[in-house]
Every structure is written in structure tokens, then in C-alpha cells.
Amino acid sequence: MRLAVIPGDGIGPEVVAEGLKVLGEVAPDVEATHYDLGAARWQRTGELLPDSVLDELRGHDAILLGAVGDPGVPSGILERGLLLKLRFELDHHVNLRPAKLYDGVTGPLAAPGEVDMVCVREGTEGPYVGNGGVLRRDTPHELATEVSLNTAFGVERVVRYAFEKAVARPRKHLTLVHKTNVLTHAGSLWSRTVEEVSTEFPEITVAYQHVDAASMFFVTDPGRYDVIVTDNLFGDIISDIAAAVTGGIGLAASGNIDASGTNPSMFEPVHGSAPDIAGQGIADPTATVLSVGLLLDHLGRPEQARKVNAAVAFDLSTRDAGQPLRTAEVGDRLAALAGG
């Protein structure tokens, strides 16, 4: 397996090291190439993602990313110029974000019941495309726009992916989350697309929720969800809520997927570079390890993925909440479990 590794910033390198430890136990054929991209490179050279590097990345089977973002770099430079550029250039139109409450994990709800959902977030459109601008900057009449882009092609392919995911899961339920009562232009496109594609999947029950109500139900009744499909911005926000109710952001994995298979898909924890805890060796690497599990599944290695996921499930069911482990200790435990 040719794997490109982008550790990135903050806790990124710390959690990626543990992800690779576990990967090495289950997939001995990994050939990892590390790419120095992120805050340090930008500060040193002004480079974010040179075309030559992007071309090299395309030659890999998959990419493992830590996180980007640094308090010493103006907000948006790394997020847009590196992370979103990777997602857009590599056509990662599906941002897959499972959220499952594992045995032994305590969420905020006293009696949550079973929580096992998958958020299918659109990854290359919406308000993240940079479609906007500023007029009369630094005047009292400054005007800023950030226009959400939604194409029939882009919405259809992610909605279809979500239905296919739902068909493969026992509950066969899909919820569209949007804000169709206010964002009527984009909302209509999303609603019509879900309705049209649903005719091809008669076994799937379909629900709709406005994103504000969904945010409430994610907290009060997360067990009602199976597969969720939503746009780039709503998916970014609700997947952090889903992470919080299933034990925290340190457990939330994601895959940025080019479902056409043309480009390598990229796997990363849902969280960011966490500058508040960077360098302390206390970040939970489990989200990265579960992202490695998604990577293996994506590459058609279900048995290796199963070992990784089983290691995480066992570790979580036996963790002592009173004795938090350090980043490397969690990685060591998971590597031993996955390889044993």
C-alpha cells in the first residue's frame, strides 16, 4: 500500500504517529511517504500545497492526515490553502463521518440507548468554495458575501452515496438535514434530489429535519439517526455534535472520499490541530486510529479494518476513566490489540 502521510500541525503529528503504529501491525506492506505540509512549511517558504506535491499525492493509494491550523498563521490560510485545496483538487465529494457510542464510553446522556449513525457530508461545494468577497473593507459600510454553491451534479452524487450507505446498514433509514424553510434555493435542490433518488431505493425510509431541530435531536435523541446526508457547512457542525454525544472529538473519525476512485481518498480525525493541548502528549489518538480503519475498509481490506476497529472497541470498553492515558500509551495498547 502506497500511503501519503501529512502529519500537519499541532496534535496532528502526535496522533498520526499512533495511527501509523496501529496500521503497521495489521498492514505490514505499508510504504509510507511523509509530506512536510502545514504551518512550519508555510512560515519557512510561503508554500502551502505546491502543484508538484499534489501530483505526487495523486500517485498514492490513500492519504492519512493529522490536522492543519496554527495560532501563528492567519486563520484560513492553512484551512483553505492546504486542507480544502486537498479536498477540492482530489474531488473528495463525500465526507464520511461515522459516530457510534462504544460500550464503556460515557456520553452526556444518562440513558442514550444505541447510537450508531453515519453523517454523509458533501465535501466539495456549499459555502466552503470561496465564492464571495468583500467590498469597502475596513469602512463602516463593509459588505462581505460567502455564497453557497450547490450543483445538481454535486448534490446528486453525494445523495446517491448516502442511499447506498443506508441500503448496506440494518436500519435502512436516511435523514436529509438542511434549512429548506429559509435557504429555499439550495434547499429545494437538495429536497428534490433526495426525493428523486429515493425512488430507486424503495427499502429506505426517508426523513427530513431542519438543521436547527436536528442539532437539538442530536443531543436529546441521537439514537433516532442512521444515515444523515447534508451539505458541507451543516455537516461540519453536526458532525462535531455527533462526536460530542458519542464520547468526544478524540474518538471521531472521518474519510474524505472520491467515490469515483479517480483520486486517492484522505482519512483524518474530525478534530483540528488542538493548539491548546499540542505538545503535551495527551491528545487521544483514537479518532486517527478509527480513521485508519476507514482507510483500510476503503481500500478493500475488511479483515485489517476489523482488527483495528475491534482493538478500539476493546480498548474503550476497558479504559479506566479515572486514569487518563497518554497519547503514546493509547497507541501502544491499540497496536498490541490489533496485532495480537
Ligand X SMILES: CC(C)CC(=O)C(=O)O
CA distances 190 to 76, 96, 119, 214, 239, Å, are 28, 18, 15, 16, 19
d(C-alpha 215, C-alpha 266), whole Å: 27
**Residue closer to ligand NAI (CB basis): 11 or 176:** 11
- The binding track of 119-158 with respect to Mg ion, each residue x by CB under 5 A or -, is ----------------------------------------
Residue 283 marked as a ligand binder:
yes
The position carrying cell 460500550 is 103
**Residue closer to ligand NAI (CB basis): 101 or 283:** 283
**138 annotated active-site:** no
Choose, by CB under 6 A, the member of 105, 211, 253, 287 that binds ligand NAI: 287
Map the footprint of ligand X across residues 164-223, applying CB under 6 A: none
Q: Secondary structure of 72-83 in the HEC alphabet?
A: CCCCCHHHHHHH
| Residue 315 sits in the site that holds Mg ion (CB under 5 A) | no
Neighbouring-strand partners of residue 307: none
Is residue 66 within 8 Å of residue 16, measured between CB atoms?
A: yes
CA 54, 57, 62: angle at the middle one, nearest 5? 140
What contacts 24+ positions apart, CB below 8 Å, involve 80-84?
A: 80/130, 81/42, 81/48, 81/49, 82/37, 82/38, 82/42, 82/48, 82/49, 84/128, 84/130
- The binding track of 216-245 with respect to Mg ion, each residue x by CB under 5 A or -, is --------------------x---------
d(C-alpha 78, C-alpha 217), whole Å: 33
Residue 113 marked as a ligand binder:
no
CA 182, 188, 190: angle at the middle one, nearest 5? 110
- The binding track of 253-282 with respect to ligand NAI, each residue x by CB under 6 A or -, is ---------------x--xxxxxxx-----
**9 annotated active-site:** no
Q: How far separated are the first and last CA of the chain, in Å rounded? A: 21
Map the footprint of ligand NAI across residues 77-106, applying CB under 6 A: 79, 83
Choose, by CB under 6 A, the member of 7, 250, 255, 331 that binds ligand NAI: 250
Where along the sequence are the contacts to ligand X (CB under 6 A)?
79, 83-84, 236, 270
- Binding residues (CB under 5 A) for Mg ion: these are 236
Catalytic (active-site) positions:
128, 179, 212, 236, 240
Provide the annotated binding site. Answer: 87, 97, 121, 212, 236, 240, 272-284
Where on the chain is the footprint of ligand NAI (CB under 6 A)?
Answer: 11, 15, 67-69, 79, 83, 249-250, 268, 271-277, 283-284, 287
